[in-house]
Chain A
Amino acid sequence: MSPELINLIIQATFESLYMVGIAALLGTAFGLPLGVFLATSRKGELFAAPVVNRLLGIVVNATRSTPFIILVVAIIPFTRLVAGTSIGSTAAIVPLTIASTPFIARLVEAAIREVDGGLIETASSFGASPMQIVLKVLIPEALPGLLLALTLAVVSLLGYSAMVGAVGGGGLGDLGIRYGYQRFMPEMMLAVVVVLIALVQLVQSAGDYLARRVNRRLRHR
């Protein structure tokens, strides 16, 4: 493979990492509080607001059931408003963030719900405020689950980022379609797939490692 092509692959890899990295950060910034709220706002819970909980649940489900490629196209005006353009990696971050936020929120909700309810009662018994319970009990106790959730979100985002390539988002997916498919260069397609597989492996292993390190429920030494 020529040095030019290898350069293209390297550049596309960085574009993908940029899109996924920023979208994962933003998705977590929005998805974590949303997930915590979903996990604590049913009737009788810490921030009980059953109606809001149900409405947010509907919005989250609606976003999650929209196919990503359709979401990308449907929100182009919004993307243009936020990013100033609808083409390129920076613009792609907008739909990636919007797709990953409800996904992360649901994963966070599941991880938080795994925390033993007795711990909430215990913290309440010594006068912890709902916010203190979230910050000092729920999130630290759910941390292994949260890290695995984030890993899963990043892996999914890598897949989504390849899809935004189809609509001019740049990155590895773009490269694969333009060179591998449209110019019929199977070796390019193969290279793109190999890089994606390597990235997913790397992210998953790193996530597993971190989750294991913070998990104190198991005896380990």
Chain B
Amino acid sequence: MNAHQSLAIGQRIETLDAISPAATEPDAMVRFEGISKTYPAYRGKPGVNALQDIDFTIPRGSITGVIGRSGAGKSSLVRLINGLEKPTTGRVIVDNRDISALAGRELRLAQRSIGMIFQHFNLLSSRTAADNIALPLEIAGWAKSDIKARVAELLALVGIADKHDRYPSELSGGQKQRVGIARALATRPSVLLSDEATSALDPQTTRAILDLLANINRELGVTIVLITHEMSVVRQLAREVVVLDAGHVVESGQVADIFTHPKHPITQSFLAEVIGDSLPVSLASRIMPAPAAGGQAVIRVQVRGAGAGDTLVARLARELGLDVALLAARIDEIGGQHVGSLTLGIPLGMSSSEDAVTRTLAWLSQYQFPAERLGYVA
């Protein structure tokens, strides 16, 4: 115990040193340095390498999405940030402090500056909304009168001041998550971790909760780390994104960059969730492998970038002199960038000539729009 304590004190000193302006990296709120996390074999179950070679930074004041399929290691990753889990190797620096080296009382003090919200809200059923929010303050040893004032402030902040005396069983899912958010913010944390916080909510409530989180980020300057398997959450809220697959970071950066030019198949599959890569059923059923006289060739064009697709059809029609038909289209905005696809019908004429198709594909490749021929319709 003594050796342990002196170790903690030593680290404390190191921490104080690290706060000196010279050593501070002002834009990093969370830094993963060479992280791996292995769960040892237990009762006949083999060990699991949950995370490997994790090195990235979460900028101060950002909203960073961590997206991945189930089992990608998202939950482990987020629990490293607030010290609920310890890395097997490497360090996790939160607000210039090596949280992975803290234990006991030191860790508990540090945890007060890191809030967390959960998929299933995790409210105490025996406490009212107000008393749930008061819990972290009681644990931090606040005076009763201070708690009362702070709780009222927080209830107003999350927009449920009238639910003060309600028990969780009397609240809707969205209201419960608002209580969860207020509770997480109670001790004025600098980081808010969200573990699939909207996965149990309907789309409308999800939107409202994400708006609330955006407000909190803007007004309180709290860095938000969003763990999610839903692309729509990242798209609506995050500016930065980290794509996690099988315990590795496969891509990371600005949401707009990553999703306009997705490299990894996992990233591409997440993108497909938003923009959809399947054709309308009635169109798909009409597509044939061979051209028909008077029919159209079906070409799909990928659209990426700011305003990229705006004038594409008009320019194509004008410059090539073709009556281009728009058969299907889906364009969405991710981080201010257009992302989507247009499905065009290129007229073949009575002679079924491929000439128009060849010219169209050449034109598209000249302007660097990825395109593919899907087939023909009559």
Q: Which residues of A contact B (CB under 8 A)?
A: 116, 118-119, 121-129, 132, 136-137, 140-141, 143, 214, 216-219
Contacts and interface: CB of A to CB of B under 8 A. Distances in A.
B82 A125 contact: yes
Given A116-B122, A118-B120, A126 B112 contact: yes
Nearest to B184: A126
Contacts, number: 73
A118 B122 contact: yes
Of listed B107, B114, B136, B193, residue having the most chain A CB within 10 A: B136
B111 A217 contact: no
B116 interface: yes
The 3 closest A-B pairs by CB, nearest first: A127-B111, A127-B108, A126-B136
The contact size tier of chain B is: 20 to 34
B115 interface: yes
Contacts of B107: 127
A125 B139 contact: no
B84 A126 contact: no
8 contacts: A118-B122, A122-B122, A128-B108, A216-B126, A216-B127, A216-B167, A217-B125, A218-B169
A118 B118 contact: yes
Contacts of B187: 126
B315 to A, nearest CB: 54
Interface string B147-172: 00000000000000000000111100
Nearest to A220: B169
Contacts of B127: 140, 216
Contacts of B184: 126
B126 A141 contact: yes
A128 B134 CA distance: 13
A143 B263 CA distance: 53
Interface in B100-125: 105, 107-112, 114-116, 118, 120, 122, 124-125
A124 B104 CA distance: 11
Contacts of A127: 107-112, 136, 139-140
A217 B169 CA distance: 6
A35 B82 CA distance: 30
Interface in B57-111: 82, 84, 105, 107-111
Contact of B169 (A128, A132, A140, A216): A216
Interface in B181-213: 183-184, 186-187, 193
Contacts of B136: 126-128
A219 B116 contact: no
Contacts of A126: 111-112, 115-116, 135-136, 139-140, 183-184, 186-187
B138 interface: yes
A118 B122 CA distance: 6
Contact of B125 (A125, A128, A141): A141
Given A126-B187, A219-B170, 13 more contacts: A116-B122, A118-B120, A119-B122, A122-B122, A125-B84, A125-B116, A126-B116, A127-B108, A127-B109, A132-B139, A137-B124, A141-B124, A216-B168
B169 A119 contact: no
A128 B105 CA distance: 9
A186 B170 CA distance: 54
Of listed A122, A124, A128, A219, residue having the most chain B CB within 10 A: A122
Contacts of B183: 126
Given A127-B111, A141-B126, A216-B126, A136 B138 contact: yes
A140 B135 CA distance: 12
A137 B127 CA distance: 10
A6 B252 CA distance: 85
Contacts of B105: 129
B111 A140 contact: no
Contacts of A141: 124-126
A122 B116 contact: yes
Nearest to A133: B139
Contact of A119 (B82, B124, B140): B124
A221 to B, nearest CB: 8
A140 B124 CA distance: 9
Contacts of A128: 108, 136, 139
